[in-house]
Amino acid sequence: MRAVIQRVSSAKVEVDAEISGEVGRGVLLLLGVERGDGEKNADAMLEKAAGLRIFPDEMGKMNLSLTDIGGAMLVVSQFTLLGDCRKGRRPSFDRAAPPEEARALYEYFLRQARARGLTVAAGVFQAHMRVSLVNDGPVTLLLET
């Protein structure tokens, strides 16, 4: 499982000019599910994303997590994170999980995040989405399980 996590002041995702998910202070998490990933990978990714100390404390140091600040998480499925661009000019997506598997883990990830008490918004799986964000920092990190 691979993710790009961005600390945001705000973020939203639109499908067909309708907002499907929107958050204020928190993170935008682009989530790619790889062949062979399972619930353990999703749990580990969620643990890492919710616990990353990427928000400033009262001294301005990145010492607080999403959980610590009560921030929100916008999760967007992003199979292109698994694209392999080493050969030729067209990315290969052989590492990406088939849509049925990826959807199941994406939805599992969302359920688990909500079960932890996080405020969670989401994109629409397999939809053409327009994602807007105000990256705070900017802080952008790559995560893998």
Residue ranges covered by each domain of the chain: 2-144
Residues classed as catalytic? 78-80
Side-chain-side CA neighbours of 137 within 13 Å: the count stands at: 18
pLDDT at 115: 98
pLDDT tens digits, 95-128: 999 999 999 999 999 999 999 999 999 999 999 9
CATH 3.50.80.10 is right for the domain spanning 2-144: yes
Stretches in the chain below the pLDDT threshold 50: none
pLDDT at 78: 96
CA quadruple 86, 139, 117, 15: dihedral positive or negative?
A: negative
The answer, as to whether pTM is greater than 0.85, is: yes
